[in-house]
Amino acid sequence: MNLELKKAIEQISKDKGLDRDMLIDTLEDAVRTSVLRRFSDETDVEVTYNDETGDIEVFQFKIVVSDGNVENTDTQISLTEARSHDPSVQLDDEVGFRVKVADLGRIAAQSAKQVIIQRMRDAEQEIIYEEYKDRIGEIVSGIVQRRDKGGWIINLGRTEAILPREDQIPREHYKRGDRVQALIIDVRKEGRGPQVVISRVHRDYMAALFRREVPEVDEGIVQIIGVARDPGSRAKVAVLSRERDVDPVGACVGVRGSRIQNIVQELHGERIDIVIWSPDIATYARNSLAPALVLRIVVDEEENLLEIIVPDDQLTNAIGRKGQNVKLAARLLGWKVDIFTERRYNEANAIGHGLEQVASVAEVSIEALLSAGYSSLDRLRDADDEELAEKLSISSARIADLRSAINFLAPVVEESPKPSSVHHPAGVVQSAEQDKTTAERLDNAGE
């Protein structure tokens, strides 16, 4: 009775979390492979594990042929030899002979051992892959083990994970033995085993932290609609309450800020703005740009653009340090965002309105004026009659009408206003004449 083998199977199944029947099948396959290597691939063998005794039983089967017609001793046996084992056998019968595992030899036994180890390793890796594949989006905790060319290797217990450089919060430093938390974002099958990829900068990591720290979020009473992050610095989280009597901001912040502080500490001081989500994009934009005061919002649905008008002294607050506030708001909203001071917006619209009136009086299109280089009333006023006639192809009477319109509008726009600009710490100039939105320009400046 081979109790040692039986105990080994039980222990491995318990320690590695492997299915016992799978281990027995693996053992039988390994022994079968060794037998075939010892004899030939044509050999008909049957390998079974005796669960009661713990023994591996191997039987080799041969076909009974007439004397003198044995062509392959691994698969055939003569009638005379077969009857020496069993007198009742007939031609074409299949006769089984027990093969002692000990007779397989040292090389065959070693081969069987290698096959068993490899099969067990493959089975264990498959189990780990299936387990972690179903845990994508879950927070895990591990010990920093070593630095790899692609990032840090984190020991999760049953397997290792990689924390790539691009998924580390800037200015965070690790050393061997540190405990770190992160979000599982991918699980890949690779030759040396499953590769678990984790991240501390992914926006879903913050959402997962809120689910862990805020019961109302975990229960679905408060829903996280969106997250925009500048990892390690600042983030905006849009929330919505499913119940009227539950304040989503209060639930996320907690008593005396206890809940939000736990998240801030885990992210090493990352500032978090809780934003109330609204189906009305203008209201949502106002909330997203807090703490800046917003006077008016112009919504251009065709261009997916929001023009935000703020008081003259609020432009810096609206844009934020290094453009952070407007960039995060634009990501959270999913719209392009351009910010104007009240004075600059009014000036820009006054110019546009004046040109439209002049174009109407002169019976030319606004596009013709702009194509001819007349982007302001000042430029039209400075042009002589010959130039206007040549560039706009209009009569002297129309030119006279055009001059009258300019003179009429002069008190409103006495001179072409220069674009008011605010120099942002990163060197970005806020100007309505630039083609790109405020958020886009700040993104480019950051790059």
Q: Strand, coil or helix: what is 380?
A: helix
DSSP string, 100-151: -GGGG-HHHHHHHHHHHHHHHHHHHHHHHHHHHHTTTT-EEEEEEEEEETTE
pLDDT of residue 377: 76
Q: What is the DSSP letter of 426?
A: T
- For residue 407, the model assigns a pLDDT of 80
Report pLDDT digits (tens) over 88-143: 888 888 888 887 766 555 555 566 567 667 777 777 788 888 889 889 999 999 99
Phi-psi domain of 149 (left: phi exceeds 0; alpha: psi -120 through 50; beta: other)? alpha
- Can you spell out the DSSP letters for 305-346? EEEEEE-GGGHHHHH-GGGHHHHHHHHHHTSEEEEEEHHHHH
In this model, does residue 269 exceed pLDDT 70? Answer: yes
Helices (H), 273-424: 281-288, 315-319, 324-333, 342-362, 366-371, 377-382, 385-392, 396-409
pLDDT of residue 166: 93
Phi, psi of 340 (to 5 degrees): -125, 150
Q: Over the stretch 18-73, which tens digit does the pLDDT of each residue have?
A: 777 877 887 778 778 777 777 777 778 888 877 777 777 888 888 888 888 888 88
Dihedral-angle region of residue 68 (phi above 0 means left; psi in -120 to 50 means alpha; beta otherwise): left
> Which tokens sit at 144?
């920093």
Taking the C-alpha atoms of residue 113 and residue 31, their distance in angstroms, rounded to an integer, is: 9
Overall average pLDDT of the 284-301 stretch: 90
| Residue 215, token pair as written in the block | 């019961």
Residue 352 to residue 78: CA distance in whole angstroms: 108
Question: pLDDT-derived band of residue 428, with 50, 70 and 90 as boundaries?
Answer: very low
- The shares of helix, strand and coil residues in the chain, as percent rounded to the nearest 5, are 45, 25, 30
Beta-strand pair 193-199/296-300: unpaired
Give yes or no for residue 211 having a pLDDT over 80: yes
List residues bridging with 340 in a β-sheet: 309
**Which of 83-92, 110-119, 145-154, 210-219 is least confident?**
110-119
Question: What angle, rounded to 10 degrees, do the helices at 396-409 and 342-362 form?
Answer: 150
Amino acid identity at 195: Q
Mean pLDDT of 235-253: 94
Among residues 132, 128, 130, 229, the alpha carbon closest in space to that of 185 is found at 132
Tally of CA atoms within 13 A in the half-sphere of 283 that contains its CB: 5
H/E element, 183: strand 179-190
Asked if 128 and 193 touch (Cβ cutoff 8 Å), the reply is yes
- Please write the tens of the pLDDT for every residue from 384-411: 888 888 888 888 888 888 888 878 765 4
Cβ-based neighbour number of residue 176 at 10 Å? 11
Of 286, 308, 327, nearest in space to 424 by CA: 327
Q: State how far the Cα of 393 lies from the Cα of 444, in Å rounded to an integer.
A: 41
Is the pLDDT assigned to residue 330 strictly greater than 50?
Answer: yes
- The phi and psi torsions of 58 (rounded to 5 degrees) equal -120, 130
Task: Give the pLDDT confidence of 65-102 residue by residue, as tens digits.
Answer: 888 888 888 788 888 888 888 888 888 888 888 877 66
With a CB cutoff of 8 Å and minimum separation 6, the contacts of 161 are 140, 142, 153, 154, 182, 184, 196, 197, 198
Q: Dmax of the chain from CA atoms?
A: 131
pTM over 0.85: no
Q: Kindly report the number of other CB atoms within 10 A of residue 59's CB atom.
A: 14
Q: How far apart, in whole angstroms, are the C-alpha atoms of residue 340 and residue 331?
A: 19
240 has pLDDT over 70: yes
| Of 103-107, 310-314, 380-384, the least confident | 103-107
Domains annotated on the chain, with CATH: 3-129 (3.30.1480.10), 137-201 (2.40.50.140), 206-277 (3.30.300.20), 284-447 (3.30.300.20)
Q: pLDDT value at position 168?
A: 93
Hey, is 188 helix, strand or coil? strand
pLDDT band at 254, cuts 50/70/90? very high
Burial of 6 (0-12, 13-18, 19+ CB in 10 A): middle
* pLDDT the model gives residue 113: 64
